[in-house]
């Protein structure tokens, strides 16, 4: 029999705040963190707004500031979220904690490129008259201008490395980058590591930012981003008939997972239990979900089966809900196919309407929402849902939060490339 896995710590750094209770109260109040982009001058871009983390300094969360000098924004977010989860878990107070059985599994994206220095080196090698690049001049300029440290910090595994150093995690460590599904997959795979007995404790979650010229340009070219520049806070409209794409966000979400035996032995406060994990691939297209919703439905069905639950046992779904035409209607279709007649009875919401899409970090943040919904009996709304789409005809908790008795919740993440991952989290009963 495999180990039962529980959550004993949670933390996040988001566009709506830097601590659990502030962010949670803002979500329940239906506040938006979306505004004009300040990370760079986006005035000439089709999308001129985003959901940025504001007034944040990772150094207030770390003990070894020198070891993290020059980290990328994604790593800085991960350090802050992890520090919150670590403190909540109480693991630091353990005197006999076996660090070799303490691991990390992240879903983390690449860091932001060294744009200023890259552009400077690039221009130094450009011959305007010949309209060609002088590689010798470019290399010389790059050698003088570009930072070796910042080059390393662009690597997707850097948040993992810095977390291992900060918290002395000497056990199994992994990073996955399956686009928008990454941190849900990371939590699911960390759960499997603990279930099979390869570790006692795992940090799991994700961190990412793509709010930079390359990120915005790429998603604009894909026509995936909202371009509703007239009203940024109203731009993210999941499940609405007038939705026009998602809004880029940034941040991190981290959870501490433990085997139930380990948590009980040390007397930890248990927040919730991970009981189900499902993963599938659409095997269809790079950017589009399969129009039948079969991949999403498979991941949800696997997670329910893993948890030993029926659709009628689920009291809340944290939707992927990006606000793109195809995603929202396809996710709705998948839920209706799996849940059948019960589908209209299950409240569903998308916090991306308020926080934007945190890409690789989105799933971890949305799982934390499920934990808090179980804790407090409250559901965050889907804001900007004033014009329902006839194809999206389920209960999306429109515009206003709601009280609910949540014993089991399901969290969905569907990534570019066709990766689908779903988690089931339940109230811990002690049985």
Residue 212 bears catalytic tag: no
Q: Which of 18, 68, 176, 180 is catalytic?
A: 180
Which pLDDT does position 139 carry in this prediction? 60
Q: What is the mean pLDDT of the chain?
A: 91
Q: Which of 212, 315, 357, 392 is catalytic?
A: 357
**Residue 218 located in a structural domain:** yes
CATH number of the domain enclosing 210: 3.40.47.10
**Does residue 141 share a domain with residue 20?**
no
Nearest to 384 by CA among 235, 244, 247: 235
What is the Cα–Cα distance from 209 to 113, expressed in whole angstroms?
11
**Beta strands 35-36 and 49-50: pairing type?**
antiparallel
Which pLDDT does position 150 carry in this prediction? 61
**Does residue 294 share a domain with residue 360?**
yes
What is the Cα–Cα distance from 213 to 259, expressed in whole angstroms?
42
> Tell me, what DSSP letter sits at residue 63?
S
Which pLDDT does position 152 carry in this prediction? 67
**Do 48 and 38 touch, CB atoms closer than 8 A?**
no
**Residue 404 located in a structural domain:** yes
**Does residue 219 share a domain with residue 208?**
yes
- Residue 415's φ and ψ, nearest 5 degrees, are -105, 155
What is the Cα–Cα distance from 135 to 429, expressed in whole angstroms?
65
**Does residue 146 share a domain with residue 70?**
no
**Residue 397 located in a structural domain:** yes
**Residue 431 located in a structural domain:** no
Sheet with strand 250-259: strands edge to edge: 173-176, 102-108, 201-209, 250-259, 5-13, 272-281, 419-426, 408-415, 316-318, 348-349
**Does residue 267 share a domain with residue 126?**
no
What is the Cα–Cα distance from 177 to 134, expressed in whole angstroms?
35
Nearest to 429 by CA among 400, 410, 408: 408
- How many other CB atoms are there within 10 angstroms of residue 73's CB atom? 24
Task: Could you list the beta-strand ranges (E) of 129-194.
Answer: 132-133, 173-176
Residue 176 bears catalytic tag: no
Nearest to 280 by CA among 185, 361, 367: 185
**Does residue 255 share a domain with residue 147?**
no
Token pair 């501490």 in the structure block, residue: 256
Nearest to 9 by CA among 68, 100, 94: 94
What is the Cα–Cα distance from 259 to 282, expressed in whole angstroms?
32
**Does residue 123 share a domain with residue 27?**
no
What is the Cα–Cα distance from 367 to 373, expressed in whole angstroms?
10
**Residue 371 located in a structural domain:** yes
**Does residue 127 share a domain with residue 238?**
no
What is the Cα–Cα distance from 62 to 356, expressed in whole angstroms?
27
**Does residue 327 share a domain with residue 276?**
yes
**Residue 293 located in a structural domain:** yes
Nearest to 334 by CA among 387, 278, 373: 278
Q: How many domains does the chain have?
A: 2
Which pLDDT does position 146 carry in this prediction? 55
* 3-class DSSP state of 189: helix
Q: Which of 18, 262, 290, 320 is catalytic?
A: 320
- Residue 243's φ and ψ, nearest 5 degrees, are -65, 145
pLDDT digits (tens, 9 = 90+) for 312-362: 999 999 999 999 999 999 999 999 999 999 999 999 999 999 999 999 999
Helices (H), 345-420: 352-355, 362-376
Joined tokens for residue 134: 């002088």
Contacts of 103 (CB under 8 A, 6+ apart): 169, 171, 172, 173, 174, 190, 193, 198, 199, 201, 202, 203
Token pair 């919740």 in the structure block, residue: 409
**Does residue 96 share a domain with residue 126?**
no
**Do 219 and 209 touch, CB atoms closer than 8 A?**
no
Contacts of 351 (CB under 8 A, 6+ apart): 27, 318, 365, 366, 369, 380
**What would the DSSP string read from start to end of 187-209?**
HHHHHHHHHTTS-SEEEEEEEEE
* 3-class DSSP state of 313: helix
Nearest to 226 by CA among 31, 50, 8, 377: 50
Which residue range is the domain that position 123 belongs to? 115-152
**Does residue 320 share a domain with residue 184?**
yes
**Do 361 and 314 touch, CB atoms closer than 8 A?**
no
* 3-class DSSP state of 18: coil
Contacts of 58 (CB under 8 A, 6+ apart): 68, 71, 75, 76, 77, 79, 80
Which pLDDT does position 1 carry in this prediction? 60
Which positions of the chain have pLDDT values less than 70? 1, 111-153, 431
**Does residue 54 share a domain with residue 38?**
yes
**Beta strands 272-281 and 250-259: pairing type?**
unpaired
* 3-class DSSP state of 323: coil
Residue 357 bears catalytic tag: yes
**Residue 398 located in a structural domain:** yes
pTM here is: 0.92
């Amino acid at each position: 029999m495999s180990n039962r896995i529980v959550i004993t710590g949670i933390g996040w750094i988001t566009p709506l705040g830097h601590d659990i209770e502030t962010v949670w109260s803002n979500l329940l109040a239906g506040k938006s963190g979306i505004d004009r982009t300040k990370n760079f001058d986006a005035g000439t871009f089709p999308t001129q707004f985003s959901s940025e983390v504001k007034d944040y300094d990772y150094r207030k969360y770390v003990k070894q500031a020198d070891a993290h000098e020059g980290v990328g924004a994604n790593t800085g977010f991960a350090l802050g979220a992890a520090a919150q989860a670590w403190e909540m878990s109480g693991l630091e107070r353990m005197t006999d904690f076996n660090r070799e059985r303490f691991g990390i599994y992240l879903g983390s994206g690449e860091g932001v490129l060294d744009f200023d220095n890259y552009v400077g080196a690039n221009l130094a090698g450009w011959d305007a008259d010949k309209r060609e690049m002088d590689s010798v001049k470019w290399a010389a300029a790059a050698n003088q201008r570009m930072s070796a440290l910042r080059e390393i910090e662009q690597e997707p595994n850097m948040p993992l490395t810095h977390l291992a150093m900060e918290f002395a995690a000497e056990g199994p460590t992994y990073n996955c980058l399956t686009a928008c599904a990454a941190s849900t997959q990371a939590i699911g795979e960390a759960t499997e590591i603990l279930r099979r007995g390869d570790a006692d404790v795992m940090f799991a979650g994700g961190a990412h930012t793509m709010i930079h010229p390359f990120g915005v340009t790429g998603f604009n070219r894909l026509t995936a981003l909202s371009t509703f520049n007239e009203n940024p806070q109203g731009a993210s409209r999941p499940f609405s008939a007038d939705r026009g794409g998602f809004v880029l966000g940034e941040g991190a979400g981290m959870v501490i997972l433990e085997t139930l035996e380990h948590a009980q032995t040390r007397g930890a406060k248990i927040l919730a239990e991970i009981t189900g994990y499902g993963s599938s691939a659409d095997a269809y297209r790079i950017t589009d979900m399969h129009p039948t919703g079969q991949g999403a439905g498979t991941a949800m069905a696997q997670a329910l089966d893993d948890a030993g639950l029926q659709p009628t046992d689920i009291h809340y779904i944290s939707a992927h809900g990006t606000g793109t035409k195809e995603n929202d209607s396809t996710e709705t279709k998948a839920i209706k196919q799996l849940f059948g007649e019960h589908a209209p009875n299950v409240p569903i919401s998308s916090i991306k309407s308020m926080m934007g899409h945190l890409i690789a970090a989105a799933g971890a943040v949305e799982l934390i929402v499920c934990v808090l919904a179980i804790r407090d009996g409250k559901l965050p709304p889907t804001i900007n849902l004033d014009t329902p789409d006839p194809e999206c005809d389920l209960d999306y908790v429109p515009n206003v939060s709601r009280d609910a008795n949540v014993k089991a919740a399901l969290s969905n993440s569907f990534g570019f490339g066709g990766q689908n991952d779903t988690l089931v989290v339940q109230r811990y009963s002690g049985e």
